[in-house]
Structure 1
């Protein structure tokens, strides 16, 4: 096998051996997975399997546990020996074909549409190599060959460069630790998110109550119409045809405010637009029934909104808008928004603003509202911290992938 002097930009200091080069076929061999289609999966099935869709949606480089079981007869399946590299054979995006996963487990049925690579090299290393360095190469094979299936005959001639097995293991172990850290952070994020969701549900059912600063109970929650708590905010824009404006939009499913591209005043035509208040409750009247509500912030200062995004401010300091927004992101809040949005599905279910004003809600006193909103904010901060840790670790790993492979 040909040897040339190759070395990655970043390498463990104890290794100096030359890299070996050759095709995938020279370092191992391929076969295809078999059967295990989606319709064969069931809770009663006994045979563990890996399906090609899971390489995209479930696993991030290693099959760490089995999620699927098939009832296909065993004689019609292909089973792992442990140590294989699984490469998806089909995909919608050419960049997806490099989403390989290492399979360390034995006797797992490998589904169709998966190319299985067997090698005496380190499978974990090969997997990270594919995911980190071969994404564009795999994509070029797919695009250049105008193929929708990345058959392993297209993979066999691809050239790779490998260090010694000892070095492969050390590099693979490093990435294994990073992947485990990412997975632990993801689990922490999911647990926090579930805890937050469950806690807020109990709060709005009044199963959980807060105490005041003296440890005493707050007053009972009271029922009032919406227009007792808030009032409409209107600040029309005198549009200058030659001025640039930025508009906001509100995403459905409680995903908050987004900013649209800049637009010239003359492009607005006769549209009625209003200055956005930087601390208001805002609703998309077309998709209110789909949880298209949010609270604006200083990030929206200087932005405008059309008449389809009415804004509301507290009336006589009777409500904390953070709490108010949280309520309308709850199940009860969604039900009331649907109630105030008569009509058929989609754009015909427009929020009636008089209907909205007349809705009756049961709220705690202002001080307890603030306690609830502060509690939610603290959980949001924790979630954001974990999310940043995940992104930083992913970025660190991505940088290493670019530096530690040839």
Structure 2
């Protein structure tokens, strides 16, 4: 017996003032299509008079809504295709189908649009359509793309795309709400960037001794002492075998060049330590690592000698230009023996602790911003699936 009950075209999550079903249609029935023209990388000019967008920027620089345009050109206007406010742009070629399955709404008139850009022009709210195509419909758009070495997405493909649309009022409500979330994320990212710049400035002044710490009685601490780096710290090699690293979450993390790369059922270092990439990509990168962890073979473990604070050591190493000591061209290497004789100035242990606490507080603030950004992005991802059909 057949079930003839038709599923209603309503989203899982909806603003309370709206009701009724959305309408299904083919994008080709409700939109017109055009294509950009010209504008190579060589045509970009910092002092150009015409704002422009090249196709590659659609998946490297821009997100769903374009309010500010970064590139300019001085090409002849007669040779260009220009935007109308509300146009939705998609790249028509790229390396992978999922890369080019992205859409951006340009909210400005008269922006020159380069070749390999599909232009979708319709009465649909452009911001709504860009969010829709880039998220809920992204997999469907990717399936329409064709090619092997170079993937193409032509207007003939996009015309066949099935879309579900609410009233213009609901389109506006959804896109405005998502835009507010995006603005919050951008503000948080800017706040993080400014805090990072502030932290770097404070560190620079501390290690130049422009900022001086005082004891509890208000007196200056003793002067910093010049030492060789090898007198302050020592290095250890990784003793972890590749077969001991597991992808699934085990007891103890294993650090690689970009952070935690796997897990192991044992650890090499009980105490907190500093890791430095000594071979390959990212050589010279310094990271503070929590204890009960290990590193892969391309990293060195750096530990303090004597009465030195581990987090201060991390900050000290971060300030050094270790890439000067990199050798090798095909595979770069950084050996401890080559930089252990660097002369550094080191304060007393009590000052080291104060410096560590000061910078650690700033890093914790940045970590808190990171967490808020991540949770907001997760919230947005959920909305993008539930607000659309």
TM-score (norm 2): 0.86
The yes-or-no answer on 1:33 pairing with 2:23 is no
In structure 1, the residue matched to 2:321 is: 334
**Corresponding residue number in structure 2 for 1:379:** 362
- How is 1:165-244 mapped onto 2 (pairs within 5 angstroms)? 165-231=168-234
Displacement of 1:350 = 4.3
How far is the alpha carbon of 1:278 from its aligned partner?
2.7
Query: Are residues 1:275 and 2:268 paired?
Result: yes
The equivalent of 2:348 in structure 1 is: 365
Gaps of 5+ in 2: 1-5, 247-252
Q: CA deviation at 1:154?
A: 0.5
1:258 maps onto 2:280 in alignment: no
Distance in 2 (CA, whole Å) between partners of 1:77 and 1:122 is 25
In structure 2, the residue matched to 1:149 is 152
Q: What's the offset of the Cα at 1:175? A: 0.9
The residue that corresponds to 2:249 in the other structure is none
Deviation at 1:189, TM superposition (A): 1.6
Aligned residue number for residue 297 of structure 1: 290
Measure how far apart 1:150 and its partner are: 0.4
Q: Map residues 12-161 of structure 1 onto 2, 5 A cutoff.
A: 12-142=15-145, 148-161=151-164
For 1:56 and 1:371, locate their aligned partners in 2 and report how far apart those are by CA, in whole Å. Answer: 44
**Counterpart in the other structure of 1:345:** 329
Paired residues in the alignment total 377
Aligned to 1:323: 312
Counterpart secondary structure, 2:164: strand
> CA separation of 1:145/1:153 partners in 2, compared to 1, >3 Å: closer, same or farther?
farther
* Residue 14 of structure 2, aligned match among 6, 11, 24: 11
Whether the 8 Å CA contact 2:279–2:332 is kept in 1: the answer is yes
CA contact (8 A) 1:277 1:296 kept: no
**For residues 213 and 150 of structure 1, do their structure 2 counterparts lie closer, same or farther at Cα, with a shift above 3 Å needed?**
farther
Provide the C-alpha distance between the structure 1 equivalents of 2:147 and 2:75, rounded to a whole number of angstroms.
36
- Relative distance call for 1:291 and 1:17 in structure 2 (3 A) is same
Distance change (3 Å), C-alpha of 1:223 and 1:34: same
Q: Which runs of 5+ in 1 are unaligned?
A: 265-273
Q: Which has the higher helix share?
A: 1
Contact 2:49/2:72 (8 A) holds in 1: yes
Deviation at 1:299?
4.5
CA contact (8 A) 1:278 1:296 kept: no
Shift of 1:276: 2.6
Is structure 2 residue 304 aligned with structure 1 residue 314?
yes
Per-residue CA distance 1:233-267 (angstroms, 9 max, x = gap): 69989x9xxx956794542xxx5x53446599xxx
Aligned partners of 1:88 and 1:99 also within 8 Å: yes
> Quick one: distance in 2 between partners of 1:369 and 1:55?
47
Following the alignment from structure 1 to structure 2, what is the Cα–Cα distance between the partners of residues 12 and 305?
50
Q: Residues of 2 paired with 1:18 and 1:56: CA distance?
A: 33
Corresponding residue for residue 250 of structure 2:
none
Q: Deviations over 1:296-354 (max 9, x none)?
A: 32241xx4765x6554433331x111111111112xx124x634x5x44354644153x
Shift of the 338–86 alpha-carbon distance from structure 1 to 2, 3 Å rule, reads: same
Q: Aligned equivalents of 1:179 and 1:289: distance in 2?
A: 31
4+ residue stretches of structure 1 with deviation over 6 A? Answer: 144-147, 233-237
CA contact (8 A) 2:92 2:100 kept: yes
- Are residues 75 and 338 of structure 1, via their aligned partners in 2, closer, same or farther at CA, if it must alter by over 3 Å? same
Q: Report the more deviating stretch, 221-230 or 74-83.
A: 221-230
TM-score of the superposed pair, with normalisation by structure 1? 0.83
